[in-house]
Amino acid sequence: MLSAKAIYEEIFDNDEAFQLFCSIAASGEAQGGWENGRIAALVPESYQDLAPKIARHGADEDKHGRIFNALLRKRGLDPVPVPAETDYTMRLEGDGLGLAHNQLRRDTALTEHDIITYLAHSRVTEQRASEQMQTLRKYIGDHQDVGRAIAMISNDENNHLAYCNEELLRLASEGHEDTIRRTLRTTALAEIAIYRDVSKAVMAHLGSILRWPPPKSAVLAGGIQAVYIYERLGGWRRMVTLRMPARRNALGGPASAALSRLPSGNSLTIVREWTRRWWARSGASTGPSRSGSAR
């Protein structure tokens, strides 16, 4: 039977497919952790109130990467290299969305416009991440370990989305509405095309592993294309609408306070220390190993 639930069950029941699925997810989350860590370190003086929240965002993403690697390790699997065409995060960066990695590697403070770009980019990509996690939670089946991990990640992604909405609304009220609106529209229209291409590439690789017949692969590719058409015709607007979230200050509170108590230093070090402490509180002696290296 060709259903979303059946497709996910095939992926989760096959070690090689599960290995690729988690490796792709872990790599993207680790990359997001690095990006947010660098942004937190480079926040301009006028936006220092955002730095702990951005660092918390990065800590969450880094934690998610470690969780996906932990799922692999529990099944006795190692991360595998991520095919370039399936790397959503690097495809976004390669197409000029968000802040360029070359810029983030320098020790030059970001500008106000950079902060708006970062938040608008995050607003769009966190919408995607939140929806993906909700889909996984719906179709996770009998895989309880995966289900618990996805539920935790899903809650974090919802917090990230709430944070982006709240901060962008605050900046819009301070006179940046036109810039935010333009940036959100440009980012969303580019993201939906990248997501389509990456989704087709991921399905092609998984289909090869699972030996799907050509008609099945064609139907799935057609479904991905249909989603893109819907999004291009107007579905993209859900990714740019700003609403005050029910979860106010979603990345503030105790977590941000804990970050502020960590030793001063490079923000990526702070992110890793926060992640280590999270794993310690969760009962694990150490976090799982990272897939690849942070850039």
pLDDT tens for 172-220 read 999 999 999 999 999 999 999 999 999 999 999 999 999 999 999 999 9
Per-residue confidence (pLDDT) for residue 142, from 0 to 100: 76
List Cβ neighbours of 118 (8 Å cut-off, separation of 6 or more).
39, 54, 98, 99, 110
With CA atoms as reference, report the closest residue to 192 among 225, 162, 157.
225
Tokens for 194? 């990248």
Per-residue confidence (pLDDT) for residue 268, from 0 to 100: 42
Which residue in this structure is represented by tokens 């792709």? 24
Per-residue confidence (pLDDT) for residue 74, from 0 to 100: 95
How high is the mean pLDDT of the chain? 87
Q: How far apart are CA 56 and CA 42, in angstroms?
A: 15
Tokens for 57? 């965002």
Per-residue confidence (pLDDT) for residue 140, from 0 to 100: 83
Per-residue confidence (pLDDT) for residue 2, from 0 to 100: 78
Pseudo-torsion of CA 225, 227, 231, 233, nearest 10°? 70
Chunked mean pLDDT (size 10), the chain, 295 residues = 86 96 96 95 94 96 96 96 96 94 95 97 97 92 86 96 97 96 97 98 98 96 97 97 93 55 41 44 36 33
Per-residue confidence (pLDDT) for residue 182, from 0 to 100: 97
CB 130 within 8 A of CB 119: no
Pseudo-torsion of CA 94, 98, 102, 103, nearest 10°? 160
Q: How far apart are CA 217 and CA 269, in angstroms?
A: 43
Residue type, position 101, single letter:
H
Which residue in this structure is represented by tokens 């370190």? 41
pTM, two decimal places: 0.84
Within 75-143, where are the H helices?
Answer: 88-94, 101-105, 112-139
